[in-house]
Amino acid sequence: MKINFILTLVLVFLIQISYADDGHNLWLRRATPKPVKVVSPRKSSAVLEAAIAELKQNWQGEAEATISLILKADKQLKIDGFKIDGNNIQAVNDHGLLYGVYELLRAQHLGKGLPKIISNPSYQLRILNHWDNLDGSVERGYAGKSLFWRGESDLAVTETDRKLWHEYARANASIGINGSVVNNVNASPRILDIKNLQRAKEIADILRLYGIKTYLSANFSSPVRLGGLKTSDPLDPEVKDWWARKTKEIYSIIPDFGGFLIKANSEGQPGPQDFGRTHADGANMLADILKPYGGILMWRAFVYSPTDKDRAGQSYVEFMPLDGQFRDNVIIQVKNGPIDFQPREPFSALFGAMKKTAVMPEFQITQEYLGHSFQLVFLSPMWEEVLMSDTYQEGPGSTVARTTDGSIFNQKYSAIAGVANAGLDSNWTGHHFAQANWYAFGRLAWNNQLKSEQIADEWLRLTFSALDGKSPEAAQNASWETNFLKPVKQMMLESREVAVNYSMPLGLHHIFAANDHYGPGPWYAPRNQRPDWTPPYYHQASAEGVGFNRTKTGSNTVSQYKEPLASQFSDLANVSEDYLLWFHHLPWDYKTKSGRLLWDELCFRYDSGVKQVRNFQVVWDKVRPFVDEQRFADTQRRLRRQTRDAQIWKDGCLLYFQQFSKLEIPVELERPVHDLNYLQKIKPLAIGEW
């Protein structure tokens, strides 16, 4: 027995030192292809050529099989949709054939053979928003520098650039993404300078090969800051003329330019309200200019200004009166929740409420509030939770998904956006498991009814499999299924809830440390700071209790939700404890559904989060025989940090709130291991670097 154990260890060691994987191939890892014959339409295109190349380079089916790519109208098929029946892939456009090829190849790699399906995208426009700056930095980016920009003094495009953009475009197309905003929503006016537009053209020329349109974020004050005008008033004729000339110039450089994304009158960004105009005035001016070219205007609803009212309700207050006033090529981009991509918050009340205006969900793939690239948090369960939430706006079943994908409202365009998490790191996303969030966004954008369990299963099978260079049958045998796939998938599916438990349980929100949004900071409240930029504004902790009262006796933001939700959120007997302190300010001795006092329940939630993350380390260490050494070690190192950081969250929050509750931590729970004074002094991003 002892000899066999030693031999096993030696074998594992030899395998691991002989093979490493930096994760650069994402979920598109190549195997030796088998020969295949492809019959394609006579009229060729770059996208069709990409589809044919994918088949020939990745075919895993019967050798010398013939696959027919058919362009043909079909009432069952939408634009970009496809039908697979045996060896035939049918679509109404080239893009659909490409997506059909990827679906067929995915099925092969998952061991499903040739599928027989009809698949149409949930959203027409499936877009990544890159918060990349012209200097090469990435706002809220945790995976290295920008894929697209490296400074305005270095705009020349290299073969390395083109190769990387090809790989990026291929990865997006493989999961159905068809648009990319290649610069930050906090846009520099100089993005519209001719030199930067020429580089944008080079990017667009590559992305186009895989059916991806290029979009730009534009600064609303560009007519002044770039064009030299005295005003950016959207109703000023000179301003309109400047935008018209600039847009004409863009389309002369990028003929299939997708349009603009605008962040206006938010976080100091300029906008139409600076001139006494409305969001509709600003959006419509640009939409009218884009319309002859087929362009769209995405206008973000993330707005808030200093106010004594509840920040959570401001987007609704500003946009609801404008419903029906926007042009049909304007899409209002709404964050999934009313605050700011929090680990958990209710869906934005704007979903379903704006019935005469196209509304697109905005998710955050990059983990600004969920551990950056240091923590394993699979975001699909959060997005699924939002998409499946019932708004009741058109009766039961009016989910966020159905109110935004055209199922209920007759919108000219349907769209969804995700804030990208890709950068120049060799594995693209910093954390190997953060690749799963990019993959999950694309899959949900294509089919907003998919379940997170299926997405996690797919990603794991595609990303960690026999292609790892170990036992040839590793991905198929019962050992791999039982000892790798099952526990790691369960870890992924639990990870978001675990992060909520150790950071902001029971509806607590926005209690992060300042600026970096990493680590706890419920105490952060400098005197010169806007109240709604400080955690005490949100947790409202005092000797009397904790939580934000958004019921009728408080801010009444709950009234923005359609019945029966407004009453449900207001009623302590019916509100989910996931949102308890989001909607209610409660005394520390309030009795929760577990029978525990609120203080004790908080302690138990924080403690369970730490213990769950510790178990992630155990899970990962056990699967070492099935993972190449490089990705195993990288993930193991990050899980160690995540465990340390979860302890910081627990200690910092409980010791801080204990000052108000004056209650003891339940004796059966582990005690804090840090001092509050120490935690209040350190920089949160440094806490994991001990």
540-575 tens-digit pLDDT: 999 999 999 999 999 999 999 999 999 999 999 999
- Closest alpha carbon to 318 in 395, 239, 326, 363: 326
Active-site residue identified among 103, 281, 362, 368 = 368
Dig out the tokens for 183 from the structure: 């610069």
Residue 605 has pLDDT above 50, yes or no: yes
Counts of helices then strands in the chain (DSSP H, E): 21, 13
CA angle 327, 328, 332 (to 5 degrees): 80
Q: What is the pLDDT of residue 465?
A: 82
Cβ of 74: how many Cβ atoms within 10 Å? 15
Amino acid type, 394: E
Beta bridge partner(s), residue 83: 90, 118
> Rounded CA gap, 435 and 455, in Å?
12
Q: What is the pLDDT of residue 473?
A: 46
Q: What is the pLDDT of residue 30?
A: 84
Q: What is the pLDDT of residue 643?
A: 97
Q: What is the pLDDT of residue 299?
A: 98
Query: What pLDDT, in 10s, does the model give residues 94-138?
Result: 999 999 999 999 999 998 888 899 999 999 999 999 999 999 999
Q: CATH code for 125-450? A: 3.20.20.80
* Residues in Cβ contact with 349 at an 8 Å cutoff, skipping those fewer than 6 apart: 313, 316, 338, 557, 560, 561
Q: Are 134 and 191 in contact (CB under 8 A)?
A: yes
> Rounded CA gap, 571 and 562, in Å?
14
Q: What is the pLDDT of residue 43?
A: 86
Residue 324 has pLDDT above 70, yes or no: yes
CA–CA distances in Å: residue 417 to residues 148, 164, 438, 479: 19, 22, 12, 38
Q: What is the pLDDT of residue 474?
A: 45
> Which fold is adopted by the domain 501-689?
Alpha-d-glucuronidase, C-terminal Domain (3.90.1330)
User: Within the chain, which residue ranges are assigned CATH 3.30.379.10?
Assistant: 31-120
Query: What pLDDT, in 10s, does the model give residues 387-437?
Result: 999 999 999 999 999 999 999 999 999 999 999 999 999 999 999 999 999
From 5-9, 26-30, 657-661, the region with the lowest mean pLDDT:
5-9
Dig out the tokens for 669 from the structure: 């729970």
**Would you call 267 a catalytic residue per the annotation?**
yes
Radius of gyration of the chain (CA): 26
Q: Are 351 and 341 in contact (CB under 8 A)?
A: no
Cβ of 312: how many Cβ atoms within 10 Å? 28
Confidence of residue 665 (pLDDT cuts 50, 70, 90): very high
Q: What is the pLDDT of residue 297?
A: 98
Residue 475 has pLDDT above 50, yes or no: no
Beta bridge partner(s), residue 586: 546
Q: Residue 591: exposed, middle, or buried by beta-carbon count in 10 A (0-12, 13-18, 19+)? A: middle
Q: Could you tell me the pTM of the whole model?
A: 0.96
Amino acid type, 155: L
From 221-225, 272-276, 527-531, the region with the lowest mean pLDDT:
527-531
Is the backbone peptide bond immediately before 564 cis, with ω within 30 degrees of 0?
yes
Residue 369 has pLDDT above 50, yes or no: yes
Conformation bin of residue 59: beta by default, left when phi > 0, alpha when psi is -120 to 50: beta
Q: What is the pLDDT of residue 20?
A: 87
Query: What pLDDT, in 10s, does the model give residues 155-209?
Result: 999 999 999 999 999 999 999 999 999 999 999 999 999 999 999 999 999 999 9
Q: What is the pLDDT of residue 7?
A: 42
> Rounded CA gap, 286 and 207, in Å?
24
Q: What is the pLDDT of residue 476?
A: 53
Confidence of residue 466 (pLDDT cuts 50, 70, 90): low
Q: What is the pLDDT of residue 582?
A: 98
Confidence of residue 687 (pLDDT cuts 50, 70, 90): low
3-state secondary structure of 37: strand
Mean pLDDT rounded to a whole number for the chain: 94
What are phi and psi for residue 118, nearest 5 degrees? -120, 125
User: Within the chain, which residue ranges are assigned CATH 3.90.1330.10?
Assistant: 501-689
Cβ of 494: how many Cβ atoms within 10 Å? 18
State mean pLDDT over 655-677.
97
Q: How much of the chain exceeds pLDDT 70, in percent?
A: 95
Residue 519 has pLDDT above 50, yes or no: yes
> Rounded CA gap, 216 and 196, in Å?
11
Helices 452-463 + 94-109 axis angle, to 10: 70
Instruction: Name the DSSP letter for residue 9.
Output: H
CA–CA distances in Å: residue 224 to residues 234, 239, 453, 605: 12, 9, 50, 52
Residue 514 has pLDDT above 90, yes or no: no
From 526-535, 626-635, 652-661, the region with the lowest mean pLDDT:
526-535
* Residues recorded for the chain: 690
Beta bridge partner(s), residue 296: 259
* Residues in Cβ contact with 159 at an 8 Å cutoff, skipping those fewer than 6 apart: none
State mean pLDDT over 508-525.
94
Q: Are 161 and 210 in contact (CB under 8 A)?
A: no
> Rounded CA gap, 632 and 620, in Å?
8
Confidence of residue 468 (pLDDT cuts 50, 70, 90): very low
Active-site residue identified among 154, 267, 481, 571 = 267
Q: What is the pLDDT of residue 685?
A: 73
User: Within the chain, which residue ranges are assigned CATH 3.20.20.80?
Assistant: 125-450
Residue 483 has pLDDT above 60, yes or no: yes
Q: What is the pLDDT of residue 583?
A: 98
Active-site residue identified among 340, 390, 425, 458 = 340
End-to-end Cα, the chain, rounded Å:
39
> Rounded CA gap, 541 and 655, in Å?
13
* Residues in Cβ contact with 322 at an 8 Å cutoff, skipping those fewer than 6 apart: 278, 279, 280, 357
> Rounded CA gap, 244 and 138, in Å?
29
Matching CATH number, 31-120, of 3.10.580.10, 3.40.50.300, 3.30.379.10, 1.10.3720.10 = 3.30.379.10
